[in-house]
Chain A
């Protein structure tokens, strides 16, 4: 069985007190508790503070381009569906630069998890508004306040019938771990949006701000109802619900691709001899 020591990676280069540290240790704990070995998991990330995360875990890593996490993760799953694949992104990374990929990843329903470190601000580029920054927030680029309404990733995902939609909070690691485990073991595309305080650039949405507002969806909440889930996802402000908003199983993408029904693509042997007869079709 793996231990959290097996997952010890590079020393993080995040600001002291960053919400990412909690997310990092929670991912490791979730993987350890699920009994997944480091060589059985591929973490794909983009660019941003969240994008650095796989370097701090010891596992297969593809740290690609800003916004392009999901295409790489989707294809990696098609190439080898026996790997556990977690896509890690930030709010700018996934909902801004990679917004189109996000929509289409929901449609594909690949059996991968997407963890979005949502700190409602741009960290790596130093404090500009992100797609989830609250309207009216003042930044160096938006000195008169952000004019757009923030994007609601949960509503968006639920409206598109995403197979698993959840929200966690970096300040409640036990619950976050449960949500991560549920996302990783869910069969289908699983979005876990993680409220992550940025201690340097977001002075509004602090640990305390979230702690005063977040609450867990209780046992009486039914995550199988899409309309109710959508309604719940609109709740934001004095009370911010956390938990699994919406969950249902349907055919995953990899089940529909004939080429990989018997073996992962990567293990399929190739020899020229077996395809030579193709040329006969041109006579």
Chain B
């Protein structure tokens, strides 16, 4: 496979509703628990039953951060999967299938026919457990992980009773043993369980949700929309444990206005959506700007325009998010490259939102949102929590509290209505005076624009971290990415063009751009021979942003706009056109 370390890619394909996520989720967890690094990604259609979906798992004894096109194992739950993905099988790879399900028998050596359904009926007394048989069989081929799988089955089915747990475990064992017995050639995988070390396995959405909870977010309002819904599901699953309010609203307009209402009333609040839902939120975004209400907004991009490709991925909303909202007000946009970055940037989003009383975006996409990554740990000591709200005791000595009092920083005290003693908190979407009441005179207007926009901007800019330079410190070839392309660009830098001076510059804190005193990335670009901006969109939106803000123009652009993420192979192929 041209790599020195152990790594395999496994793809599970079938129709929606066949349980791909159950199998894929269990396998990913097994690998991460026995000490492999895991990267998964999902490719599915916008339908609940039928069609064709797949769940891909790559695992390795080295850190990995992207998907491959070439498969070592294909677990086919229907005939369609075999027909579509057969061509992607690596030399020495295998296709697991059940000829009773596909109604067709394959005699070629790479095919292993395992009676998933029959074993499930014989051993588990229920054909539903065919998925457990298949999961066991996949592990049997590799010769690893049966104990870990048994534990996962116990955790998953505990609440359904002992009988179900017992039958699932029996099915997993039967599938495992069947594969061991009937695939002698599988020993070629040569896998052993690595030195025992548990990894955490987490998606971008979960990392955002956990980041929010660990930042003191107590209120999440949203309207379901792929691929953002997972954040709301995560919040709802933790609501009782951490005393969170999760509100499923009648529309996205209500979602953002509720989050604003909760934040105004003193609670850290967040909303989340995808591009179409965010379009409805734009008026509310402007309201946060005028009322200086702290707010964190997660915008999980999917390909547009309009309904677009609901379950697929694109980085097509960057300039929309950047320019959304009537009028002028400050905003910050983060676009994490990994779940770990998503976690810390969500925490930073809450910090900046409340410190500067502004909207802060966590912008991501379906690819990062739903991909699972493994990490040893997140260092929780790096989390920030400062409570910038003021209450009665903080206002002692102040005769009349003014919500929008002028200050040298543009930041006014953020009092909580009802918790500020007899002080009153007045917020207004009209232009207003320091107390928050409607005004129309030009003198006050000018002062207010200076206060909420011009004075805050340079301070906010100072908070932004420089982009990450990875690879050669004085590169001749620079691969530039933002957000979810981090992992694939990094692996390309790690494994390709070894004879060239190559580096990646990755932006995750994308707006405002960081000051260049700590790292002058523009100078680095100017000193390179080739600067290639890699984006999961058609028009090169990040390249436009860099040009608009700095005047620098990248020498080349790689755009992918088929609704799918870059894989290592297809990014390399694109790069070979220039390098």
Contacts and interface: CB of A to CB of B under 8 A. Distances in A.
A242 interface: no
Given A71-B261, A78-B262, A278-B214, A266 B418 contact: yes
Contact of B385 (A54, A100, A270): A270
Given A64-B287, A64-B429, A76 B422 contact: no
Contacts of A64: 257, 260-261, 287, 291, 427, 429
Contacts of B254: 68, 70-71, 100-101, 104
Interface string A260-279: 10000111101110011011
B385 A279 contact: no
B180 interface: no
B577 interface: no
B25 interface: no
Contacts of A74: 247, 258, 261
A68 B380 CA distance: 38
B216 interface: yes
Given A65-B283, A266-B265, A282 B239 contact: no
Nearest to B384: A272
B394 to A, nearest CB: 15
B195 interface: no
B89 to A, nearest CB: 32
A266 B416 contact: yes
A270 B261 contact: no
Contacts of A275: 213-214, 242
Given A71-B253, A259-B244, A272 B259 contact: no
Contacts of A65: 257, 283-284, 287, 429
A8 B243 CA distance: 38
Contact of B429 (A42, A63, A279, A283): A63
Contacts of A265: 218-219, 243, 245, 262, 267
Contact of A42 (B202, B206, B418): B418
Nearest to A64: B429
Contact of A282 (B202, B428, B438): B202
Contacts of A271: 385
Interface string B193-210: 000001111100010001
A74 B264 CA distance: 12
Interface in B430-444: 430, 436-438
Interface in B214-256: 214, 216, 218-219, 221, 238-240, 242-245, 247, 249-251, 253-255
B279 to A, nearest CB: 16
A144 interface: no
A266 B419 contact: yes
Contacts of B266: 79-80, 266
A151 interface: no
Contacts of A13: 438
A83 B418 contact: yes
A200 to B, nearest CB: 19
B424 A39 contact: yes
A181 interface: no
A10 B438 CA distance: 9
Interface residues of B, number: 69
Nearest to B218: A265
Contact of B265 (A80, A260, A270): A80
Interface in A249-266: 257-260, 265-266
A13 B198 CA distance: 67
Contact of A75 (B239, B247, B250): B247
Contacts of A72: 257-258, 260-261, 264
Interface string A168-185: 000000000000000000
B426 interface: yes
Given A61-B436, A278-B238, A282-B206, A268 B243 contact: yes
A47 interface: yes
Interface residues of A, number: 54
A62 B436 CA distance: 9
Nearest to B427: A62
B4 to A, nearest CB: 28
A268 B210 CA distance: 18
Interface string B256-282: 011111101111110000000000000
Contacts of A100: 250-251, 253-254
A117 interface: no
Given A10-B437, A71-B249, A258 B210 contact: no
Interface string A35-61: 001111010100100001011001111
A272 B212 CA distance: 11
A105 to B, nearest CB: 9
A258 B246 CA distance: 10
Contacts of A79: 219, 245, 261-262, 265-267, 269
Best-buried of A55, A70, A71, A260 by chain B (most CB within 10 Å): A71
A82 interface: yes
A272 B258 contact: no
A278 B261 contact: no
B213 A268 contact: no
Contacts of A40: 418
Interface in A171-221: none
A60 B401 CA distance: 12
B383 interface: yes
Contacts of B261: 44, 62, 64, 71-76, 79
Contact of B262 (A54, A75, A276): A75
B33 interface: yes
A103 interface: yes
Contacts of A58: 424
A257 B245 contact: yes
Nearest to B417: A60
Contact of B423 (A39, A63, A276, A282): A39
Contacts of B430: 63
B320 interface: no
A272 B416 CA distance: 21
B429 A76 contact: no
Nearest to B438: A55
B218 A76 contact: no
Given A71-B253, A73-B261, A78 B245 contact: yes
B250 A101 contact: yes
A272 B250 contact: no
B425 interface: yes
Contacts of B428: 55, 61, 63
A283 B242 contact: no
A44 B291 CA distance: 13
Contacts of A101: 250, 253-254
A37 B240 CA distance: 33
Interface in B398-456: 416-430, 436-438
Contacts of B201: 282-283
Best-buried of B238, B239, B267, B437 by chain A (most CB within 10 Å): B267
A241 B240 CA distance: 46
Contact of A82 (B33, B377, B418, B426): B418
Given A75-B260, A76-B265, A283-B33, 17 more contacts: A10-B438, A38-B422, A39-B420, A60-B424, A62-B427, A75-B269, A80-B267, A100-B250, A100-B251, A104-B250, A259-B243, A265-B218, A275-B214, A276-B380, A278-B213, A279-B377, A282-B202
24 contacts: A10-B438, A37-B422, A38-B422, A39-B417, A60-B426, A62-B291, A65-B257, A65-B429, A71-B255, A72-B257, A75-B265, A76-B264, A78-B219, A79-B245, A79-B262, A100-B251, A100-B253, A258-B243, A267-B419, A270-B268, A276-B214, A278-B242, A279-B378, A283-B32
Closest 5 CB pairs between A and B? A75-B261, A72-B261, A79-B265, A71-B257, A75-B258
